[in-house]
A and B are shown apart, each in its own frame.
Chain A
Amino acid sequence: MGENKHIEELDAFAKKYIKEADQEVPSLNFTSSIMDVIAETQNKKVFKPNPLISIKGWILLFSLLTVCILYVSKGKSIFETWKLPEKYKYTPIFEFPDLFKNISVSNTMLTACFFFTLLIFIQMYLFKTRFDEKLNS
């Protein structure tokens, strides 16, 4: 009973005097500063660069490139070794023409092409990283 009484008195005391404490007011340009930051965020959102080639696109390109290199360097022989089991064999409706039949490329040329392509991809990656950094800064 006595304990409750003094809790009530203490509560009334706090209620009476805390309400009298001065309220703090922020600076005059508080709202405009926030709105400026928000406007800046909005502008950044408007320009959201999308990559020209997606990850799937890159995978597809690399796969095609690898197949081309292998086909040109090893000739048809490498593909002929991949034989399907008897049950999956079918008669093709359309025979693909052997486009590279009469083309012969030296190994030096192939190595040069390979490294040149690799260099282009590295440069693409480096340029992309650099422009991304510039745009996000």
Chain B
Amino acid sequence: MTTINDQTYIDKVLKGDTNAFAFLVEKYKVMVFSLAMKMLKSREEAEEISQDTFIKAYKNLSKFKGDSKFSTWLYKIAYRNCLDNLKKNKEKYQLDTIDEITIKKIHSTDTILEEISQKERAILMKDCLNKLPEEERTLLWMFYYDELSLKEIIEITELSESNLKVRLHRARKRLLTIVEKNIEPEFISHYGRK
């Protein structure tokens, strides 16, 4: 299932060409680092965990049998590393309550977001995602940003399909609530200037 390109480099590394691993690091560093950032929120910790992920992957490369994509296998190592780090520095979240979601509410939030520039929207979304509990943020990131399939996320997180679907839905609802709360002052100031 691993792409031929990845497998070529994996084979080279296993034959002793250490430098071939640099190609894999270059290819997947942004993906791994983004996941670590989404889970840990601290740049320093994310960088440390990402590096540790690649070193672990290198040491265990012979155990990678190619049953899944190399990226999924790497993602799983990164996810486990981040979880271990979070367990060490247990952070207590003040969870935002999830308001009742209506289609009208989704449309109105969407309309307001359309009014904001793409750059501002990107900043706003990053802030809103950071306000989610780390697990919900990570699941949304995997599913919508990295476009991993449900099957791949199940393999990484070891959640059951029904459990994953429930968590994803809850995460989407909480995100909408947070976005709505965050764009209110933006919206008011925007129209106040008009």
Chain A residues close to B by CB (< 8 Å): 5-7, 9-11, 13-27, 30-31, 33-35, 37-39, 41-42
Chain B residues with a Cβ closer than 8 Å to the other chain, count: 46
A85 to B141, CA, bound (A): 80
Could you say which residues of chain B place their CB within 8 Å of the CB of A37? Answer: 51, 55
- Among B32-67, those with CB < 8 Å from A are 33-34, 37-38, 43, 46-47, 50-51, 54-55, 58-59
User: Chain B CB within 10 Å — which of A13, A25, A35, A39 has the most?
Assistant: A13
Contact between A6 and B102, CB atoms less than 8 A apart: yes
A13-B106, A30-B33 known; 18 other A-B pairs, CB under 8 Å? A6-B103, A9-B103, A10-B106, A13-B109, A13-B172, A14-B140, A14-B172, A17-B113, A17-B121, A17-B179, A20-B125, A26-B47, A30-B29, A31-B29, A34-B25, A35-B18, A35-B19, A37-B55
Contact between A21 and B25, CB atoms less than 8 A apart: no
Partner of B21, one of A20, A26, A33, A35: A35
Partner of A13, one of B18, B26, B176: B176
Contact between A42 and B18, CB atoms less than 8 A apart: yes
Which residue of chain B has the shortest Cβ distance to A7 in the bound complex? Answer: B169
Contact between B29 and A26, CB atoms less than 8 A apart: yes
Contact between A26 and B144, CB atoms less than 8 A apart: no
Specify the main secondary structure of chain B where it touches its partner: helix
Contact between A39 and B144, CB atoms less than 8 A apart: no
A14 to B47, CA, bound (A): 27
B78 within 8 A of A: no
- Among B49-106, those with CB < 8 Å from A are 50-51, 54-55, 58-59, 101-103, 106
Scoring B residues 123 to 141 as 1 if CB is less than 8 Å from chain A, else 0, what string do you get?
A: 1011001000000000011
Which residue of chain A has the shortest Cβ distance to B57 in the bound complex? Answer: A34
Min C-beta distance of B147 to chain A, whole Å: 9
A110 to B129, CA, bound (A): 80
Min C-beta distance of B97 to chain A, whole Å: 17
Given contacts A25-B30, A30-B29, A30-B50, contact A10 B101 (CB under 8 A): yes
